[in-house]
Chain A
Amino acid sequence: MSWRLTGALSALAMLGFAGTAAAEGELNIYNWGNYTNPDLIKKFEEAYKVKVTVTDYDSNSTALTKVKAGGHGFDIVVPSANYVPIFVQEGLLLESRPDQMANFKNVDAQWTDVPWDPGRHYTAPWQWGTTGVAVNTKVYSGDPNTSAIFMDPPAELVGKVNVVPEMNDVIGLAIMYVGGKPCTQDKDVLREVRDKLMAAKPKWQSMDYGMTEKMSNGDVMASVNWNGSTFRVRAKNPTVVYGYPKEGYVVWMDSVAVLKDAKNVENAKLFQNFIMDPENAALISAFARYANGIKGSEKYMPEDMKTAPEIVVPEQFKAAGTFLPTCPKEARDMYTAIWTELRK
């Protein structure tokens, strides 16, 4: 090889070894897949002259494992409510005090002080929603408002149901289906949960993510799914409906937290403040179609979200919604064991 070529390649190598490119500022966000509005990112990049990267994860467990393993390079993570205490306990979050930031006054009263982050010392609200089932009525015209869709699939749906691999949502729905209470440690209830899930599994088609696209495309006919995702599916594929399981469905909130070993702490804090602004919160909601926790964002949100059944919970189902709390460790261990068994 000629020396010039070697020289050029060495220069390239130096570039590579320099690690992250030399920009004014950087921010590495680790968020759920298909959950971040590119317009929001662009607005942030322009406002603060920061280069933003967004990396996907598909479940809280994946995020936790990756962050705990270290050396990930992320600054921001967006865990669900019941995982926030776990992240805090493991020493993974920075106490960035969103409650002291300028835009905190915009946060809805019901979200300013929550049991899983008292006083909001760690997290700023991102979006909140429900977990239920999405069904394509072309194949099944019965009642979609039940967890039996995946726990005991009706004949038309056998081999056509997907279950998203989000442990807490699925186990939560399953526990409520057999009549138990969330965070139960009752071995009989849990045994029933385990047995029912294992019996239902052969009737499922897959345990995968990306239902927003897959149900729009018709690759999947029914699935455990989140309300906003189903709303987006219905926009593309009008025969799909969202069901609120009457046995009990999950209410969740995702929040933005700064990681303790973040390299760009200042930019991360700026981002937390940024999303508590009503206009920006509306941008977040407009993309993924979930409610956000910021007052005053309604006037910026798209019209169809004001009346959609996925966003505005119908009266008869309001009572069945349960906000999943963080369960004690013994309960969590048992759920993990059940889930691991199911997952194989």
Chain B
Amino acid sequence: MSVDDATVRKIARLARIEIHEDKVTKMANELNGILNWIEMLNEVDVNGVEPMASAVAIALPMRDDAVTDGNIQSSILKNAPKADSGFFVVPKSVE
């Protein structure tokens, strides 16, 4: 599989990373280099193999339903670039 400039722009938008037009082709080439190298995985016979979802073969541990956290508004907002009256202030978004 290979990516062209249009695909790079699309992926960059999905990843919310701005790429200047004059860098798009370079990025496409770099990504293609990596993707071509990755192609060799197609040589492997993976018939009937379950994907390895986790290195740890245990069931999901569960916790009790109790309020043990939160109520730390000032800590939550401490590192905010912009906060007001207890809220995070972010650029206007539309529904």
Chain A bound to chain B: no
Chain B interface residues (CB < 8 Å from chain A)? none
